[in-house]
């Protein structure tokens, strides 16, 4: 791991069936409708799209997200990122007893955006908080959608 690499993770619990959450996560084009950090998504190919992501900090990340693995039976999604950040992201969705499901995110990226690279070594904790806030907004959007479906 070099000084510009960062590993991030998160866990969502949702009162939804695991297949429902998997389908929502697989439909990247719908993210801006329920996940506030996703400012835009534009399909660029059969398995690729350009995304613009912005959370609490005053910067947006632009990247091409390319699906690498989609396994509905195992409820696993993997994608490669290339742009302001490069690397990979993986979601796994599993039942959570009578409570619905749990979705786990793991992400390993290298920061490539010059402005962020300058701050990366000392601002890593701030970037982690920003990522956590983005995930919290996504979990809230997912849960709000679950309440609306009932």
The whole-number average pLDDT for the span 18-43 is 96
The per-residue pLDDT for 150 is 44
Find the CATH number of the domain harbouring 117: 3.30.530.20
Tens-place pLDDT, residues 87-125? 999 999 999 988 899 999 999 999 999 888 888 878 889
- Please state the pTM of the whole predicted model: 0.92
Domain assignment of residue 91, given as a range: 5-149
d(C-alpha 26, C-alpha 63), whole Å: 17
Number of domains, the chain: 1
Positive or negative: CA dihedral 114, 119, 124, 128? negative
Q: How far apart are CA 85 and CA 62, in angstroms?
A: 8
């Amino acid at each position: 791991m070099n000084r510009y690499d960062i590993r991030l993770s998160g866990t969502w619990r949702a009162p939804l069936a695991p297949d429902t959450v998997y389908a929502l996560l697989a439909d990247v084009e719908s993210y801006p409708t329920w996940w506030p950090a996703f400012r835009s998504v534009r399909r660029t190919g059969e398995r690729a799209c350009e995304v613009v992501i912005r959370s609490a900090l005053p910067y947006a990340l632009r990247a091409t997200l390319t699906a690498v693995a989609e396994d509905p039976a195992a409820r696993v999604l993997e994608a490669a990122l290339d742009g302001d950040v490069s690397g990979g992201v993986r979601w796994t969705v599993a039942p959570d007893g009578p409570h619905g499901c749990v979705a786990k995110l793991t992400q390993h990226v290298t920061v490539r955006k010059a402005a962020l690279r300058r701050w990366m070594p000392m601002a890593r904790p701030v970037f982690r908080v920003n990522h956590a806030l983005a995930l919290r907004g996504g979990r809230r959007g997912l849960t709000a959608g679950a309440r609306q479906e009932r």
